[in-house]
């Protein structure tokens, strides 16, 4: 179920670009909730010194997911949180023994922290969709169910820039407009989460006639037995030659002003 994070390295002359991501996966059905976080990294080589780079996902003031590169580790291991993957998210969203309720507004302040020792530009990708979990545990994405019912409320929209070219109903892409210095945290990009209770009102009715000639109306709940997914992927690149770094790593043209402010072209 986990979505993999990719750490990419590419060389442009003597410039090494790094991208790191923290992925938060929420899955929930009515009356239950769980979360998972997975990581994957590819090895890379460079002719320049590898600097420590790290990124963390912050939920309601607590670090819930991170990956920090330790240059002193011979095998290049990443330092990640040791909390089991199914206990990371809702430790900061729900009260003890509380079940996730459709239609309820929850505090969900999400931000990005630079846990490395070099400055960064960051972006987030938010994915929201519905799935049907089959008996064998596999998932089928349900394209006919609306992502809009998974309402992560966005804030600080003057600082978190919406990339309208890459945004779809299922995927929302935001860029932070300023350098994120080492050890500092962005302004939150969201403040609440609600899975709209209207999901329970989406029904399909079919009419049939039985052998006695009576009309039988069958009501099927469109969202019955499905789960929602909300994924937050955090990416970061170093600030040196940032325009080329962002273009090469993320495929997005940006402008960087003399005061280091980022804007989308």
190 inside domain: yes
Q: Structurally, how many domains does the chain consist of? A: 1
Tokens read off for 103: 């239609």
* Residue-wise pLDDT tens digits, 56-75: 888 899 887 777 765 444 44
Structure tokens at 33: 């909730």
Q: How many CA atoms lie within 13 A of 73 on its CB side?
A: 9
Checking phi first, is residue 70 left (phi over 0); if not, alpha (psi -120 to 50) or beta? beta
Is residue 92 one of the residues assigned to a domain? Answer: yes
Question: 145 with 132: CB under 8 angstroms?
Answer: no
Q: What is the pLDDT of residues 183-204, one digit of tens each?
A: 999 999 999 999 886 666 777 8
Extract the tokens encoding 181: 């210095």
Q: And the tokens for 73?
A: 């580790």
Is 265 within a domain?
Answer: no
179 is a domain residue = yes
Q: Does 109 map to a domain?
A: yes
CB atoms within 10 A of CB 129: 19
pLDDT at 17 over 60: no
Which residue carries 């430790």 as its tokens? 91
Q: For the chain, how big is the Rg over CA atoms in Å? A: 21
Q: What mean pLDDT do residues 48-53 have?
A: 50
117 within a domain of the structure (yes/no):
yes
Q: Is residue 3 part of a domain?
A: no
pLDDT tens for each residue of 234-248: 888 888 888 988 998
Range of the domain at 146: 8-198+225-259
38 Rama class: left (phi>0) / alpha (psi -120 to 50) / beta: beta
Query: Which candidate, 221, 262, 218, 217, places its Cα nearest to that of 239?
Result: 262
Which string of DSSP letters, residue by residue, matches 103-140?
T--EEEEEEEE--SSS-EEEEEEEEEEEEEE-TTS-EE
* Residue 171, in any domain of the structure: yes
- How many Å apart are CA 194 and CA 26, to the nearest integer? 12
């Amino acid at each position: 179920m986990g979505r993999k994070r990719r750490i990419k390295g590419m060389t442009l002359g003597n410039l090494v670009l790094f991208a790191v991501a923290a992925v938060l996966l929420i899955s929930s059905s009515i009356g239950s909730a769980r979360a998972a976080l997975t990581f994957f990294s590819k090895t890379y080589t460079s002719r320049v010194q590898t600097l420590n780079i790290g990124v963390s996902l912050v939920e309601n003031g607590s670090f819930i997911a991170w990956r920090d590169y330790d240059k002193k580790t011979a095998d290049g291991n990443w330092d990640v949180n040791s909390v089991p993957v199914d206990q990371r998210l809702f430790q900061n969203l729900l009260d003890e023994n509380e079940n996730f309720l459709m239609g309820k507004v929850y505090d969900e302040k999400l931000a990005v922290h630079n846990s490395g020792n070099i400055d960064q530009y960051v972006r987030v990708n938010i994915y929201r969709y519905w799935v049907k979990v089959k008996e064998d545990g596999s998932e089928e994405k349900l394209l006919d169910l609306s992502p809009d019912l998974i309402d992560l409320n966005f804030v600080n929209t003057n600082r978190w820039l919406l990339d309208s070219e890459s945004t779809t109903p299922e995927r929302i892409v935001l860029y932070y407009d300023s350098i994120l210095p080492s050890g500092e945290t962005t302004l939150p990009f969201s403040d609440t989460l609600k899975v709209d209770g209207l999901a329970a009102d989406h029904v399909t009715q079919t009419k049939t006639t039985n052998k006695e000639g009576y009309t039988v109306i069958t009501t099927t709940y469109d969202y019955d037995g499905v789960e929602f997914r909300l994924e937050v992927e955090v990416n970061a690149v170093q600030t040196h030659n940032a325009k080329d770094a962002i273009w090469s790593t993320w495929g997005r043209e940006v402008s960087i002003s003399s005061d280091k402010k980022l804007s989308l072209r």
